[in-house]
Amino acid sequence: MLRMREAIEKWMDSVLESGGIERLDDLHIDQINPIWKDRHFWLSGGLESLQLAIGVRDRKGLDLRIALAYSLQSGNKPLGVDFKDKKELSESFDWSPPSLYLFHIGREPWIEKKENTATGEMVVKVIEPSLFGEKASILECRYVEFLTAGSHEYSRSVFLVG
C-alpha cells in the first residue's frame, strides 16, 4: 500500500512541477500496481487508486480535483451511455487501463471545451456514482463523448471525480 501511495505522490508532484496538469498528464493504474494491468482488475483497481489519490491530495492540502478515467470503446457514431451496471461498463472498456488525472476545480474537460474535438461539441451526461458502489469520496461521475479531431471515431470516457 505504501509503494502505491508513493507512486501516486511522485506522479502528483511531477504533474504540478512540470505543468503536466495543463497537458493532462495521467497515471495509468498499472503503473501504481502491476497486477492492475489485467483488465479484470480495472474496475476495482481504479476505484482503489482513486481512493489512494484522494488521500494523498488531502494530506498534501491540494485544492484540486482527482479524476479516474475509464476509456470506453469508440464508434463511428455516438453511442451514448450504453451500460446500466458495472458488468456492462466493464464490457465497454477499450484497450487502455484506467488512469488518474489532476484538474483545477472548474477546469475539468467536461466544463472547458478542449481543442482536440473535431466539432468543439462534447456530449456530457451525469452518471449516478452509486453505479460504482458506496464510495463517499466520489463527488460526481461524468460520461463524456466527442468526435476526435482528425478521426472519424467518437471518443468516450467515464470520469469518477473526487
Q: pLDDT digits over 23-49, tens only?
A: 999 999 999 999 999 999 999 999 999
**Residue 4 has which C-alpha cell?**
502505491
d(CA 41, CA 34): 10
Give me the pLDDT at residue 111, please.
Answer: 83
**Residue 89 has which C-alpha cell?**
461498463
Number of domains observed in the structure of the chain: 1
| Cα angle 32-35-41, degrees, rounded to a multiple of 5 | 95
pLDDT at 116 over 80: no
Give me the pLDDT at residue 81, please.
Answer: 94
pLDDT at 119 over 70: no
pLDDT band at 151 (very low <50, low <70, confident <90, very high): confident
Q: Which domain holds residue 81?
A: 2-161
pLDDT band at 149 (very low <50, low <70, confident <90, very high): confident
d(CA 28, CA 41): 13
Q: Per 3-state DSSP, what percentage of the chain is helix, strand, and coil (rounded to 5)? A: 35, 25, 35
Between residues 142 and 151, which one has the greater pLDDT? 142
Cβ neighbours, 10 Å, residue 160: 24
Q: What is the pTM of this model?
A: 0.91
Rounded average pLDDT over 129-155: 84
